[in-house]
Every structure is written in structure tokens, then in C-alpha cells.
Amino acid sequence: MSIREAIIATTVLTAASLLAAGNASAQSCRAAGPNTAASALTYPVSQKGTQIDDYHGTSVPDPYRWLEDGNSPETAAWVTAQNKVTQEYLGRIASRAAIKARLTTLWNYERFSTPFKEGGRYFYSRNDGLQNQAVFYTMASPDEPPRVLLDPNTLSTDGTVALAGLAVSPDGKHLAYGTAASGSDWNEWRVRDIETGVDLPDQLKWVKFSGASWTRDGKGFFYSRYDAPNEATKLADANYFQKLYFHAVGTPQSADTLVYDRPDHKDWGFGGTVTDDGQYLIITITQGTARKNRLYYKDLRQPGSKVVPLLDDFDAAYSFIDHQGPLLYLRTDRGTPRGRIIAIDLRKPQPDQWKTIVAESADTLQAVSLVDGKLLASYLHDAKSAVKVYALDGKLIRDVTLPGIGSVGGFAGKRADRETFYSFTGFTTPTTIYRYDIASGKSSVYRQPRAAFDPAAFVTEQIFYKSKDGTTVPMFIVHKKGMQLDGSNPTYLYGYGGFDISLTPSYSVANLQWIEMGGVLAIPNLRGGGEYGESWHQAGTKLQKQNVFDDFIAAAEWLIANRYTSTPKLAIGGGSNGGLLVGAAMTQRPELFGAALPAVGVMDMLRFHKFTIGWAWTSDYGSSDDAAQFKALYAYSPLHNLKPACYPATMVTTADHDDRVVPAHSFKFAATAQAAQRGTAPMLIRIETKAGHGAGKPTSKQIEEAADRWGFLTRELQMTPAITASN
């Protein structure tokens, strides 16, 4: 896992329809409305400081700088006071208890990961329903009873210790696994004997943004870590100088061998992958979250061999697939923004000697694996999955017949395997696991969950709309069958738009609950994502980041113009980079939305690069250290564009252990928003404890958070939710 990995009917609005939407919102802001209790809210005092920074001659006040100190008594008191106001507000929402009860019922179903095979055994994860963490199992064959190998629920009393990574040795004897406490990105790795289920003394600390890759003989594995941080400030300090190590089983971490580092490049990150035959260590080198990377290799069969640069120009993305002798198969977007499969001969590695195996197509190439001597290629076609099987010479063998419109994952395996497994999911289809026979091309259901709802009651559609500059953008819309287009439907518009990440159809218990209550779910595939390849991604980065916000705002306008909803019934949401999206949209067009839910958002675009891994995001955002980029960042930074105005009802969410997007972003934004609000709508912040950016969050906390989110919207959008009775 690299830093990047740890980081888916065209109508043109008329001026008249936009004006009508704006006037309706302005009137609702001036009027007290039915929720006048919001105007009586007394927020905790957020003391204003005198901090002023100079950015290239521009003076920028930062009065809540003190909230960046997560260890200070003042910040702790502020957090406690804010949570008290928020919980009292949420506690008065009549529908919240019923929403939580129904969410609990919907969440109580079996969930499975895609199995994989290693060392003659099969491995997979399963959650029986309401377990806080999924349990990791092993079995001798896919049809035999499984045995518990690792149960993360036993690692803490409240489910806040999660499995953060794992790797099985090729001989099937050992499991290397990482755990994360309270949602932190910092991981601790251990080694377990698979036969006995007992941990060995091995303990590896200060691992972050890393997996593990075993040598063929099973004697040890490669992993990446940082130097030990300052214990008091480890959740906020910047992370630089990652190093690639080899750990021999049964030895202390102090004896680990440094394989590769670059003290001259503090922002380089390293990921080591051993080829299936054990011959090469493939080293992927990244710079932050940039899609581009370098590729080096080391011959493990030659003692003392040096690390050899193979692709060192940082000009494109290169992903190793497999090799045949000196011939390496790679997925790349060099010269082909939507991706292709190439072969590079290590004896003649010059670009003019590369061979294209599978050429670029109209669809975006997402992933490739080599199983049973075949290339299994996963594509995105208008943000929906498609899979093709190719021979090693690039000849198309077949298209994989998928169960419907949705998203797939898996298709992993080795050259000699005769089968593979894959997952399939959609907005109203819980993740189902399929077994795929390579020779026949037949899929069969391996594990199918049974959830407590009727998928036939809902419909998923995909529309295409025009953004501000005329770009066509796709959007998924999910709702109950028979819904009337009369502008009265509560709608949750969710987006991301960044870091080459694609928003594709996937099942979410929380989202299912929303549409079951009568809400509309709308998910546009904004620029900045990876749905249409690297050019689509780049069109939403740095000086072009405003395109992302324009795409999102245009989606809202399309939903209103086509009478799916109206401003008082329209909520927007997003997390992390999506939290930035919501913050920018609500500050640029506050009159357009009825409610806003920015989660763990990047809100201070002038200082984000000064904390933890924030510097890595400059590949997408740029940096305030650059004069031209500062101007663009300052123009949309949510924190700096909050002015006295009428803002929609807002509930900011963050967590005290978020060391990806530090909670100071949300703290400062909430304090500023509360001071800037001139309407009657609430400006709340919900701060989760013993939780991080989102990964590994216990089921119990997910249910609580979703109940608060939907409860807040039922009140602020004036919903009368149709809540199905729970068992």
C-alpha cells in the first residue's frame, strides 16, 4: 500500500430556473422557518486570536490558530463544549431513535471479503452482522469449514483496534498483520503462526502507508516505515523520509535491514513487492499522492545485488502485473490517459523497445492481474465496471459476463491458478462474492449476503448533464420506484472529485436507509476523479480545481431544474477531499442548498501541507508556498471564504484521532462558520472520540454516525421519513 493507495440526459438550465432557485433560498434564509429553535442555539465561545500570516504580500488572519493544538486544555474544553451542544440538539430529534433501530437491522447481515489463496490454503474475512470488526478466517479449500485465524474484536474492548493490512507467507506458515488503534494511520505489525494461531515475538512499530511482501522462502518480508515520531505530537507532525526495510522472522525490529531510502528526497515513499517466483523485488516509488511513480527493481537471487532504476522519469503511472523471465508486464498511462498494458524487456528497457500488449480503449483501464496465464483486465465504462480476458499476446479471449450494472473487485491470483474470485456490488446490491473459472469463463455465486430489504423497490439511473464550461458529467441517481418529480423529494448529493479516485456503484447500508426513507441519492462523477482516465483527473487539480466545484454545483442545479428536488430539500455531503468539496460549494453558493454535511474535510487550503501527510496532497491542490497557486487556493479555501451570510444548516463531522486530515481543519471551520452565520440554521460540529479518518471504524460507531447524519437531515429538510419497522 503506497501513500497514494492509502489516499466513481443532458439538460441545460435556463437563467429563469436558476433565478427561481436562488430567490426561494434567499427567502427561506430571511424567514425564521419551522426550525426557529436553531436561532436560539448558544455556541461555545471560540476565542479569537490575533494571528496574521503574510502570503506573497497578502495578509491573511488566522484567529483560531490555537485550535491546531490538539493537546491543549483549551482545545479539549472547546471540543467537549461543542459536542455537548451538538448531542443535545441531535437528542431532540424525534426520528433519530427509529432511524438508528432500522440502521441496526439493515447492518445485521453477513459480509464477506474476496477469498485469496496462498501456501495451499484459502483466506478471507467475514462479519456476522453487527461485529465491530470483520474476522479473518482460513480454510484448506473453498468448500471446507473455515477456522478463525485472527479476530480483531478481541484486541480491544470497544472495537477500536482494526486490522490494517495482512500478508501470508508463500509457504502458508506465517501471517504478517498490521493493526491500527482508534483509526490512526500509524500501524503496528506482528507475525502469527498460522497452524497454532499464536503470535511470535516480532513487533514492528511506526509503520504507515505500507503493506508487507514475503520472500519466496518465507523467512521474512519487506515493509516501509518512518523513524519514531514525537509521542506527544505524532498525530499532527509531518511525515517525511519513509524507508524500505526487510524484516527476518524471529528477530527484533532493531535488526531489520534497510533496503532502500533516499535522504535527498524526503517526500519519496516506497513500496516493495516480491514477484511470485521470488526472483525480483519490485520497488514502487511515489511522491505524495501523485498518480505518477518511479519503478526500480532488485534481483533477489543475486546476493548483494543493487537496486536498479528501471523507470525513473516520474512521467506516468506504472503498475507491475507479472513477469516472464526478463519480460515485465505493466499497466501504464504513459501517452495513453485511459491506460494500456505493455511489456518491457529488462535487457532492452528503452521506451522505443516497449511492446504494447493491450492498447488504450475508450474505457478506463483500472486494474490487471495475470491468472492461469491470462490477463484479466478491469475497466470503467462511464463509471461502471467491465472486465475482459486477454491472452499474453493481447488477443481478446472474452468479456466477463457480470451480474448487472455495478462495480467489481478481486480477480487476483497467480499464473498457475485455475480459478479466481471477484466481488460485485451496486447501489442496492450488497457485495456478493463470485468464483470464476478461467478456462470456461463461468461465474458461480460463492457467498451471497441476505439483507433485510427488497432491492426491487428501488431504481438506479444514470444521467448526463452539462457543467458550467459545457463539459458533460455523468451522475447516478437512486430512489424508490414510482417517485414523483415534483420538486419535493429530500435529496442527498454526494461527491468527491479528486486524487484520481472514482465513485462507482457500491452498496452502503446508510445510503440504503436514506432512499428507503424516501430520499434521493445522487452521486456525480466529478472531474478530479479517475472515471475517464488521467486527463479527467488533471482537469480537476491545482489551478483547475474550481472545475470540480462547478461540476458539483451544476449537478445540484440539474436536480432542481428537473424537479427531483428543490433548494429547501437538497443536502450535500462528502468526506475528506469531498469535505473540501462541500465546504467550497456551501461558501460559493450558500443559497443553493438546504443542508450541508462536510466530513473530515480539508478546510484550510493554506496550511494543509504542514500536518502529517498533507504535504503529499500538493500534487492535486498545489501549495500556498507558490504565489500563483496561493491565489487559486485562497479563492476557494472553505475556511477563508466564510463571510457573514445565511448558510444552510450544517453539521461538520471529524474525529479526535484523525491523523490523515487533522481535526484542526474542521475545528477552525466550525468556529468561523458559527461566527459568520447570519441565518437561523444551525452550525454544528460532531467530534467522534477514539476514531480517525474513517478506516477501521467500528460498526457501532458507523451506526451512531449515520443515525445522527440522517436524523439531522430529517429535521433540517423537514422530512417525514417512512421508516420501515425493525425486527
55 burial via Cβ count (<10 Å: 0-12, 13-18, 19+) = middle
The answer to whether residue 693 is catalytic is: yes
Could you tell me the CA-to-CA distances from 370 to 275, 292, 319, 326 in Å, in that order?
12, 23, 13, 16
- To the nearest 10 degrees (0 to 180), the angle between helices 73-91 and 699-716 is 60
Buried/exposed code over 587-626 (b: 16+ C-beta within 10 A; e: otherwise) = bbbbbbbbbbbbbbbbbbbbbbbebbbbbbbbbbbbbbee
Q: Which cell numbers hold the place of 25?
A: 433560498
What's the Rg (C-alpha) of the chain? 25
- Is residue 711 within 8 A of residue 91, CB to CB? The reply is no
In DSSP notation, 375-386 reads: EEEEEEETTEEE
Distance CA 257, CA 24 (A): 65
- C-alpha–C-alpha distance, residues 192 and 258, integer Å: 23
Cell numbers describing residue 405 = 450494472
Q: Give CA–CA dist 609/629, Å, rounded.
A: 13
For cell 447500508, name the residue: 509
Cell numbers given for 10: 443532458
Say if residue 226 is exposed, middle or buried (CB neighbours under 10 Å; 0-12, 13-18, 19+).
Answer: buried
Q: How far is the CA of 137 from the CAs of 113, 117, 236, in angstroms?
A: 10, 12, 35
The grid coordinates listed for 235 are 498525530
- To 10 degrees, what angle do helices 546-561 and 627-636 make? 20
Give φ, ψ of 592 to 5 degrees.
-90, -20
Query: What does 596-643 look like in DSSP terms, one character per residue?
Result: EEEES----TTTGGGSTTGGGGHHHH--TTSHHHHHHHHHH-TGGG--
* Residues sharing a CB contact under 8 Å with residue 133, sequence separation 6 or more, in sequence order: 127, 151, 152, 153, 159, 161, 162, 163, 696, 698, 699
Interacting residues of 385 by C-beta distance below 8 A, sequence separation 6+: 366, 378, 379, 402, 406, 407, 408, 424, 504
- Using alpha carbons, select from 637, 724, 591, 564 the residue that is nearest to residue 9: 564
How far is residue 555 from each of residues 24, 29, 428, 567, measured CA to CA in Å? Answer: 18, 22, 22, 12
Q: Which is catalytic among the residues 369, 506, 576, 623?
A: 576
CA 43 – CA 683 distance, rounded (Å): 9
> Each residue of 91-106: b (16+ CB within 10 Å) or e?
eebebbebbbbbbbbb
C-alpha cell at 384: 461502471
Q: Is residue 696 left, alpha or beta, with left meaning phi > 0 and alpha meaning psi from -120 to 50?
A: left
576 is catalytic: yes
Identity of residue 93:
I
Q: Which residues are catalytic?
A: 576, 693
